[in-house]
Amino acid sequence: MMTTSDKKKIQQDFKEKMDYDELLNCMRCGFCLPSCPTYIETGHQEKYSPRGRIALMKGITDGVIEPDDDIAHSLDLCLGCRACEPVCPSGVQYGHLLEDARSILQKHKKESVPVKILRKGIFTELFPHQNRLETATSLLGFYQRSGLPKVARKIGFMNLFPESMATMEKVLPEVPKRKEIRQRPRFFEHEGEKKATVALFAGCLMDTMFFSTNNATIRLLQKAGCDVVIPENQLCCGALHGHNGELEQAKEMARKNIEAFEASDADYIITNAGGCGAFLIEYDHILADEPEWAERAKLFVSKLKDISAILVAFDFQKTHHLKLPAQTVTYQDSCHLRNVMHTFREPRVLLQSIEGVKYEEMEGADTCCGSAGDYNIVQPKMAMQILDHKMGKVEKTQANTIVTANPGCLLEMKAGIERVGKTGQVRAVHIADLLLEALE
Amino acid sequence: MSSVKVKKKKGLLKKQLEAVVGAENVDDSASGRLVYSYDATPNYQAMPDFVVSPANAEEVAAVLKLCNETGTPVYSRGSGTNLCADTCPVNGGIVLLSKRMDQIIELDKENLTITVQPGVITKKISETVENEGLFYPPDPSSMKISTIGGNLSENSGGLRGLKYGVTRDYVMALQIALPNGELIRTGGKLTKDVAGYDLTRLFVGSEGTLGVITEATLKLIPKPESQKTILALYQDIEAAGRSVSAIIAHKMIPVTLEFLDQDTIRAVEDFAHIGLPTDVKAILLIVQDGPKEIVDRDIHQIAEICRSENAVDVQLAASEEEAEKLATARRSALSALARLKPTTILEDATVPRSEIATMVRAISEIAEKYDVRISTFGHAGDGNLHPTCLTDARDEDEMQRVEKAFAEIFEKAIELGGTLTGEHGVGMTKAPYLEWKLGAAGIEVMRGIKQAIDPNGIMNQGKVFAEETRERVAEAK
């Protein structure tokens, strides 16, 4: 519960920190409503729509209403998928408003001691330190290799967790050994005609839990004619922090990443996770007020490309023969790749160029699957409702293979397959892994 | 009344409302009320006391009866996309949502009708009937999210008004909940029906001031077999206006004949990125539909007329997909203009189509006179223009000039035989000017009707009927 003094402080912060021009830029036409998953899923409740949320933020800023737990819940329930942005004719930067509002609310949140410690542990002590993340994931690897999962499932240990987490535990990929991660070279030479030098943004989870997908990405880039550098000292992109109201920590990570990539002097910076890409591409926004960093951030952002986008830019699908055993494939957009990076054509071009693949576009492929970063953990009920509807749409395509372009979406799709009991019949894969499979 | 008494009265009303619709469908939380305190009209906002979501016509009628007995204002609301502040709960009271009444009741392929609840999204109706080879022509720009209940109450128009008319022309029957708690049915699946006053037409476009539409039967027509879209480009705004009048004078009735000026073209292109020419002063977006040979012939002839009126280029949309992109882009015009300035104030003065060129010229002269920025787009073919003022509500001096400029635009439209509003409704924004169009006697007729149906004046208070009529800038000729 918020106390009266909390409310006053929050209101003051809204007045001082919210971008009022951006709040006014929403002219309330309502064109965003049909694109908003939570508006649809709640049976058209304005409170859970982008227009409603902006009105609430403006209401607090104007002093028309006081902040309260209801409003905090409305903002918490937002997936942050940003599907409302490309459909907004006025070009309202909803994501920025949401991040600012969440940051203010987070600052004044009275959390219990355990939650505070957990947040500090995750946001300050774990994610900004790649080596600690490696340790953490290698513990997971140890758990997976030990035979404990079977035991844990058998004795019903996982039933103690919410259903969503229990499902998630089953679908986590097998983590490589720490030694394997540590021994990977930092430079890979191009094959064929050289097109560019690229630096890989390896990502925190991508480079531990999804290590093999990173390796596939590197192979594809080499084949496409790129020298690939993996700059040292790079960190997690900071998205998790930004989306959870820890903006200052996110800025610090942005500065460190910019520094790490400047040293590589690459033509492009490549990501293979839509969620990371969408945060990296906003470094210029979050550092806009810092004279020393603004220009450097702009240069960083101008070099950023998703793996699909660079492959298509270099005509990879025309210069390489891609072939797979006959199967039906569908693609689930990563919201952030689509709505923020504006990359949605390229993955489809690549998939449709694979021989043996029957590509079926899924109805609503451009709407969120419910993963949304850590949303499926903090808002399990809504996440599962969205996922169940998504799996219904998947079913209609009769696809054997669901392709995604972001680790969160990938795990969510795997969890969805598990939920509908299709494990073994339907698989979910990252586009880089599928393309490499089609090449070999 | 003392605040204790008010509180007690509200508490009782809440209990009574909950007894009708269920506790989960009555919201009096601050956040729940705030998000229904506005619609798409800039500068209008007021908090309701309750937000109520009934499940069916009977519940709507019961809620109205309760409000009538307690003197509680009622504002019915669909998706809140209207542009004349019609859904703004200006005096508090109840916002009545149609979101739980969102079912298509029947698609009658023998009588070519569709019967729907008020909360159905307009686009869903279009898609449903088009899948069956049928056509529901009214297509307001907000159709992707607007509800049919809202369209009926506002008598919405759209891009196809020129050839196919507006919402009113497709309504065959209604079920209406009245303030006294009665449910009535008007009309039927009948082409001919002269039994009594035409109450269907009375309620369509009554802006929620008389009752609440709880069901509607809409007329459908066969889906046209083909359609073609062209863009005519101009370096002279008036030449575009003259083309419009010339096309009509040549006995050509295209489906769509839309006008966009340079500001609008640039704002739309900035949003949609579909390759609109941003270096021209105006474009006309023209669509014709029907049997293929006739469409080809018409489009050819229309293109010739445009060229003879000094169009610098006429381009044919290469595919249906491209044509659809153009129409979608046009529908975004108002909201896209909003990206240019903090506040966009839009009007929809309408003139006989022979006067389009005159009106376009008058608008730019008025904008210059009051030193305000007005962009114009609109359904030129049916004389319905949308002069849109790009301004900043925080600049009081400019806002006064904006108001004066619009008053003069209304004046001019009426002088040319036109009207204040073609399709957005009177609501609060045009109420002070309504008498200019109807005259005092006309307003009195409307007041009499209102008094007969809603004697306690609970329905959409503060709309259509102004407390005071604005003084005219100059006496009309």
Q: What is the pLDDT of residues B138-154, one digit of tens each?
A: 999 999 999 999 999 99
What CATH number corresponds to the domain at position A97?
A: 1.10.1060.10
Whether chain B has a CB inside 8 Å of the CB on A33: the answer is: yes
pLDDT above 80: residue A121? no
pLDDT at B444: 96
Note the pLDDT tens digit of each residue in B81-121.
999 999 999 999 999 999 999 999 999 999 999 999 999 99
User: In the predicted model, is pLDDT for residue B126 greater than 90?
Assistant: yes
User: Cβ contact (<8 Å) for B342 and A64?
Assistant: no
- Per-residue model confidence (pLDDT) at position A157: 56
Chain A contact set for B338 (CB, 8 A): 25, 27, 29, 89-90
pLDDT at A156 over 60: no
Instruction: Examine the domain organization and report whether A353 and A389 are in the same domain.
Output: yes
Identify the pLDDT of residue A124: 72
Answer whether B83's CB lies under 8 Å from B40's CB. Answer: yes
User: Distance from B145 to chain A by nearest Cα, in Å?
Assistant: 6
A119 and A73 within one domain: no
Q: What is the pLDDT of residue B5?
A: 87
For residue A239, what pLDDT is reported? Answer: 87
Cβ-based contacts of B145 with chain A (< 8 Å): 30-31, 33-34
Task: Tell me which of A52, A81, A107 is where a domain ends.
Answer: A107
Q: Is residue B23 pLDDT above 90, yes or no?
A: yes
* Cβ <8 Å between A30 and B45: no
Instruction: Tell me the domain boundaries of chain B.
Output: 3-97, 104-222, 226-415
Do A256 and A351 share a domain, yes or no?
A: no
pLDDT for A203 equals 86
Question: In one letter, which amino acid is A403?
Answer: V
Q: Are residues A197 and A140 in the same domain?
A: no
Is A279 found in the same domain as A340? no
Q: Minimal Cα–Cα distance from A141 to chain B, Å?
A: 45
Band (A136; pLDDT cuts 50, 70, 90): low
Claim to verify: residue A302 and residue A327 sit in the same structural domain: no
Own/partner long-range contacts of B318-324 (Cβ < 8 Å, ≥24 apart): B320/B227, B322/B229, B322/B274, B323/B227, B323/B228, B323/B229, B323/B287
Domains: count for chain A = 4
Reported confidence tier of residue B342, pLDDT bands at 50, 70, 90: confident
What CATH number has the domain bearing residue A401?
3.40.50
Q: Report pLDDT for B477.
A: 36
The C-alpha atoms of residue B55 and residue A221 are separated, in whole angstroms, by 57
- Which residue is listed with tokens 């679908």? A171
Q: Of A107, A138, A156, which marks where a domain is finished?
A: A107
Residues A133 and A222 in one domain: no
A34 near B CB under 8 A: yes
* Per-residue confidence (pLDDT) for residue A385, from 0 to 100: 92
Residue B454, pLDDT above cutoff 90: yes
Beta bridge partners of B218: B114, B171
Last residue of a domain, one of A311, A332, A352: A311
pLDDT confidence of residue B6? 86
Q: What is the pLDDT of residue A177?
A: 78
Q: What digits encode the pLDDT tens for the residues A342-385? A: 999 999 999 999 999 999 999 999 999 988 777 877 888 898 89
The answer to whether residue B174 scores a pLDDT higher than 60 is: yes
- Range with the poorest average pLDDT among A278-282, B168-172, B271-275, B281-285: B271-275
pLDDT at position B290, please? 96
Whether residue A333 is found in the same domain as residue A403: yes
Instruction: Provide the CB-side half-sphere exposure for B220 (13 A, CA).
Output: 26
For residue B154, the model assigns a pLDDT of 97
Nearest CA in chain A to B331: A89
CATH topology for B226-415?
Vanillyl-alcohol Oxidase; Chain A, domain 3 (3.40.462)
Q: Would you state the pLDDT for residue B476?
A: 38
Instruction: Indicate whether A288 and A325 sit together in one domain.
Output: no
pLDDT tens sequence across A57-74: 999 999 999 999 999 999
Return the exposure string of A335-367: e unless at least 16 CB atoms fall within 10 Å of the residue's CB, then b. Answer: bbbbbbbebbebbbebbebbeebebbebebbbb
Fold of the CATH domain B3-97 = 3.30.43
The mean per-residue pLDDT over the stretch B123-146 comes to 96
- Percent of chain B residues past pLDDT 70, beyond the cut: 99
Give the tens place of pLDDT for each residue, A233-251: 898 898 888 877 788 889 9
Confidence tier at B334 by pLDDT (50, 70, 90) = confident
Same domain, residue pair A307 and A327 = no
B residues 123-182 closer than 8 Å to A (CB)? 142, 144-146
Residue span of the structural domain in which A393 resides: 318-439
- Say if residue A123's pLDDT is above 90: no
Judged by average pLDDT, the poorest of A91-100, A200-209, A424-433 is A200-209
Write the DSSP symbol of residue B466. Answer: -
A46 touches chain B (CB under 8 A): yes
| pLDDT 10s digits, B262-277 | 999 999 999 989 889 9
- Segment B37-48 mean pLDDT: 94
Tell me which residue in B32, B81, B342 faces A30 most closely, judged by beta carbons: B81
% of residues, chain B, pLDDT over 90: 84
Write out the CATH class of domain B104-222.
alpha beta
Residue A161 has pLDDT above 70, yes or no: no
The pLDDT value given to residue A145: 65
CA dihedral B262, B267, B268, B274 (to 10 degrees): 90
- Take residue A52 and report the two structure tokens written for it: 């409603």
- Highest-confidence range of A131-140, B249-258, B468-477, by mean pLDDT? B249-258
In this structure, the answer to whether residues A150 and A212 fall within a common structural domain is no
Contact check, Cβ <8 Å, B335/A44 = no
Q: CA of A27, closest CA in chain B: separation in Å?
A: 7
Mean per-residue pLDDT of chain B: 94
pTM recorded for the entire structure: 0.90
Q: Cβ contacts (< 8 Å) between B30 and chain A: which residues?
A: 65-66, 68, 70-71
* CA dist., res. B263 & res. B280, Å (int): 10
What residues of B are in contact with residue A59 (Cβ under 8 Å)? 34
The answer to whether residues A214 and A120 belong to one domain is no
CB contact under 8 A, A90 and B338: yes
SS3 B134: strand
Which has more confidence, A265 or B433? B433
